[in-house]
Amino acid sequence: MEKRIQRIYVDSSAVGGKFNTRVAEQTKPFWDAVERGEFVVIASDVLDDELAGAPKRVQDFFYGLPQTSIERVISTDESDDLAEKYIAEGVVSESSLADCKHIALATLTGADALVSWNFRHMIYRRAGYNDVNEKLGYPRITIQTPEKLMEVSYDET
């Protein structure tokens, strides 16, 4: 039986992490796996907005990935409403709206995981996001670093 390729939603910290000296070494195996076709990256209009302000090398890297490795999604009224619910329920403040939009899109598109280096507004608050998802009848979402994703992925093989 052929192994299903995981669909991984990425935020801008996961993309920029490839070039961030603090996490580049831990991020590289994830992007290498994407380039080998081991994962499909879910990329959204929210990510595009964030990458518009990123350094050119970050943009060139991400937009240079094989198109077969990228699934494009766009925000909807439902994803915007879910993002607002996270804020209304006190998971994070209004200043983290873009983070909430990422999590809502990852949830609604059925991503296998969301990878990010954003501990403060995403990883440390994943229980809160999942509480809201469960309360509203949405599935739980896995939120972790690229490094942790690779540990889990290789442990499962």
* DSSP secondary structure string for all residues of 51-78: HTTS-HHHHHHHHTS-GGGEEEE---HH
As a whole-number percent, the residues of the chain with pLDDT over 90 amount to 92
Predicted pLDDT at 155: 47
Structural domains in the chain, sorted by start: 6-152 (3.40.50.1010)
Mean pLDDT of 104-111: 98
Residue that the structure tokens 């994703």 belong to: 149
Q: What are the φ and ψ backbone dihedral angles of 6, each rounded to 5 degrees?
A: -75, 145
Per-residue confidence band for 4, with pLDDT thresholds at 50, 70 and 90:
confident
Report whether pLDDT(72) > 50: yes
Mean pLDDT of the chain: 94
- What is the layout of strands, in order, in the sheet containing 39-44? 70-73, 39-44, 6-10, 113-115, 143-144
- Nearby residues of 57 by Cβ (< 8 Å), 6 or more positions away: 19
pLDDT for 28-67, tens place per residue?
A: 999 999 999 999 999 999 999 999 999 999 999 999 999 8
Which residue type sits at 19? F
Q: How many CA atoms lie within 13 A of 83 on its CB side?
A: 21
Predicted pLDDT at 1: 56
Q: Compute the distance between CA of residue 60 and CA of residue 64 in angstroms, rounded to an integer.
A: 6
Predicted pLDDT at 157: 40
Predicted pLDDT at 43: 98
